[in-house]
Amino acid sequence: MIPNPIRKVLSTMAARQVRALLMGGQACVFYGAAEFSRDVDLAVLAEAENLALLERALADLKAEIVFVPPLALEYLQRGHAIHFRCHHPEAMNLRVDVMAKMRGVAPFSELWQRRTTVEDRRGGVYELLALSDLVHAKKTQREKDWPMIRRLLEADYAAAGEAAVEPRLGFWLRELRTPELLIDAAARRPDLCARLKAQRPLLDLALAGEPQALAAALEAEEKQERERDRIYWQPLKAELQKLRHARLQNPPG
């Protein structure tokens, strides 16, 4: 069952009709790969009307901004995360982080079209990033995100079983991070695997059934992705540093 503080945040967003999708650790819980998290991470539509709705929802939650940058379209559209702390009695001290743009993740309009909608036993309705988009969003430089990607994909593979059709098999071949499962998926559809080798060369090793070499290739692939993410964040971190310095020089109030 989703914790009450998380439910309060999501229900408030829904009541204000904010275009927002749950991601991060709380979304992983819904997909069967539990991750302990005290935060709510949201992907939001970075448009003026939606931003106004978001501001009203945050006011309902008595949320104050923490850190920098401030809540503004220009920062959301450049890929910054905006951080808040809730002071509503039903969500006391819960942190809410919102983003509108992420490296390697589709624009929000596409995310919204293929979102996952979940209803809990109390009738609450929650809008989540689709699993494929959540996997892409988790490909960061943070070491803790990669075991979670692996668990998400393993849970999906186990849940679908032999009933999976080509779109899902293709997703697994492009994203699985468990050598044994990747070899199994390749054996189930070697023709599809061969077609996808251009996108993911390590599929050659999956087709050959070489788990040790495949594990090493997966590790190298992860290192490359983490480095791409580090490079992506360099200018954003530099901008944050300037904003922090300006805030110290001219503190609010």
173: pLDDT strictly greater than 70: yes
Q: Residue 36 contacts by C-beta under 8 Å, 6 or more apart in sequence?
A: 25
Question: Is residue 37 scored above 90 in pLDDT?
Answer: no
Contact 84, 139 (CB under 8 A): no
**Domain segments of the chain as ranges:** 4-130, 145-231
DSSP state string for 169-235: HHHHHHH---HHHHHHHHHH-HHHHHHHTTT-TTHHHHHHT-HHHHHHHHHHHHHHHHHHHHHHHHH
Please provide the average confidence, as pLDDT, over all residues in the chain. 93
Structure confidence at residue 253 (pLDDT): 60
CA 44 – CA 54 distance, rounded (Å): 9
CATH code of the domain made up of 4-130: 3.30.460.40
Model confidence band, residue 120 (pLDDT cutoffs 50, 70, 90): confident
Would you give the end-to-end CA distance of the chain in angstroms? 41
Bridge-based pairing of strands 82-85 and 95-99 is: antiparallel
For residue range 87-111, list pLDDT tens digits in order.
Answer: 999 999 999 999 999 999 999 999 9
Summarised one tens digit per residue, pLDDT across range 189-228 is 999 999 999 999 999 999 999 999 999 999 999 999 999 9
pTM of the model: 0.93
Amino acid 241 reads Q
Residue 1 has pLDDT above 60, yes or no: no
Under DSSP, the state recorded for 92 is T
In sequence order, what E strands does the chain have? 20-23, 39-44, 64-66, 82-85, 95-99, 116-119, 125-128
Measuring CA to CA, how many Å separate 147 from each of 44, 176, 218? Answer: 25, 11, 12
